[in-house]
Structure 1
Amino acid sequence: MPFRPVQSEKLSTAVVRQIEELILRGILRPGERLPPERELAERLKVSRPSLRDAIGLLQDQGLLSARAGAGVYVADVLGSAFSPALVHLFARHDEAVLDYLSFRRDMEGLAAHRAAQLASDTDLQVVQAIFDKMEAAHSKRNPDDEAQLDAQFHMAIIEASHNVVMLHMMRSMYDLLREGVFYNRQIMFKQRATRQLLLDQHRNINSSLQARDADAARGAVETHLNYVETCLQDQAKAERNEQIAQQRLAHEVERS
């Protein structure tokens, strides 16, 4: 018969499973510090030796890392998503930007569609709260804050789609965007007309999600990223034209 004796789960194993789940679901994020040992043991209602066993196992798995005198942190499990050589290759070739936006358009359109259908009310409250912050940052005209909230808004939608593979993959992609590998978001938020259009586009995305209109949410995301692509192409063209104009000016000065 295919039955085995039922064994009670060790406390340390239960702790491992809970922390693994928090990392898998993206609730505990790379670089995030765990509470001090005493506090964490009290929260989990386990002994400190059981907690230490669990932390040790998670460190062996590469999910947690200890820093001398600083505590225990969630490991940078996304660090291996792209090799340094590939990251540098992306940064040197403009076509990578268009491929990146195309990839985002497909993935985030799907995420928005799923989120409209599958997100809990609390998920949508998170999206709404971030959009409210975007409106507040817009009125203060702080491009750095707007760019940061832009990333948070899009990640909240991906989180609300409840697909853990997409979540970790897109977090890795956003880390590259934050580092300026593909383009500088802050530049887009420095232009008044562009800033207003971007806010309106995010409002349309949010409204569609709150209404749980899956097709409209996907369409709003695609419209937004199409606009971003157009802006980046216009910006690149303007920079090339300026370089040519400066060459002409330098040549005229030499001739005079």
Structure 2
Amino acid sequence: MVAGGAKDGMPSARSERSTALLRALEDEVDRAVVRPDRRLPPERVLSETLGCTRGELRRLMAHLEREGKVTRHVGRGTYATTPGEGVGAPAESHYSPAALMTTCLLFEPEVAAVAAMSASQADIRELRQCIERAATLQGSWEELEDWDISMHRGFAAATHNPDIVAMVDALNSARNSPLWSQLKSEGVTPATRLCIQQEHAEIVDAISSRDRSRASAAMARHIRSVRCAVLRLDD
């Protein structure tokens, strides 16, 4: 996991493809706003509609969630928001950064273990593509956070268990608080950025090898290293 850069939180030199996908996704959000339930289509449908991978969609959706344009409700889906709804408020009021890291440490190693047993070849390709995109990151912590959120949701999606995905969505939503953002922006250095990317690659390698013990251990090491960098807490 992780945590200035371009004002909108996206890479300052983003590709024409990323720009076009973001605009298309924002159009989908605008259409959802006027629906009675304001719910966006499922991830599979959206990725097919936009002509992008699920990894790309998750990264862009994380960006829109950070901007307060969408919110994810556990077990119900993703919804368009209206100005003033305060998307991050519920998560912020329930999770301190220390509590969030403890919850992640208890839960996400098992997510990685289940993914090692359940991931399809398509899931593994998506995870590897997400790892490759790390090389294009431009430097802002916001961009790194969006990428990190898409990685962790990818691990959850690889379990093919909707309840696990909903739990990881809830944890990711809790990372919208100003305090979390401040700690991440202060704690993540170029060295820790590289370490974070390497740790994610180790998790993906373990999942692709179907080694649930190694996947779990790699995820636990990753969360502990982030906790140390962000909260200055050693084991």
TM bucket normalised to smaller = 0.5 to 0.7
Aligned 1:90-239 pairs, distance under 5 A: 90=94, 96-137=96-137, 140-180=138-178, 182-184=180-182, 186-187=184-185, 190-234=188-232
- Correspondent of 2:73 among 62, 74, 78: 78
Deviation at 1:108, TM superposition (A): 1.2
Flag structure 1 segments of 5+ consecutive residues without an equivalent.
1-30, 37-64, 236-256
User: Tell me, what secondary structure is at the counterpart of 2:28?
Assistant: coil
What is the alpha-carbon distance in structure 2 between the residues aligned to residue 202 and residue 170 of structure 1?
16
TM-score (norm 1): 0.55
Post-superposition CA distance 1:82-119 (Å, at most 9, x none):
x988645446xxxx322211211222111110111111
Deviation, 1:181, is 5.6
- Supply the distance in 1 between the matched residues of 2:232 and 2:30 (Cα, whole angstroms): 47
The CA deviation at 1:209 is 1.5
Q: TM-score, normalised by structure 2?
A: 0.60
* Paired letter, 1:78: H
Q: CA separation of 1:34/1:175 partners in 2, compared to 1, >3 Å: closer, same or farther?
A: closer
Residue 185 of structure 1: how far off its partner (Å): 6.8
Quote the Cα distance in structure 2 between the aligned partners of 1:119 and 1:101: 25
**C-alpha contact 1:33 1:72 (8 A) present in aligned 2:** no
Identity %: 15
CA distance in 1, matches of 2:123, 2:164: 16
1:207 & 1:104 partners in 2: Cα distance?
A: 20
Letter paired with 1:158: A
Between 1 and 2, higher relative CO (CA 8 Å, sep ≥ 6) is seen in: 2
Q: CA RMSD in A?
A: 3.6
Task: State the Cα distance separating 1:204 from its structure 2 match.
Answer: 1.2
Aligned counterparts of 1:34 and 1:89: Cα–Cα separation in 2: 26
| Cα contact 1:143–1:190 (8 A) shared by 2 | yes
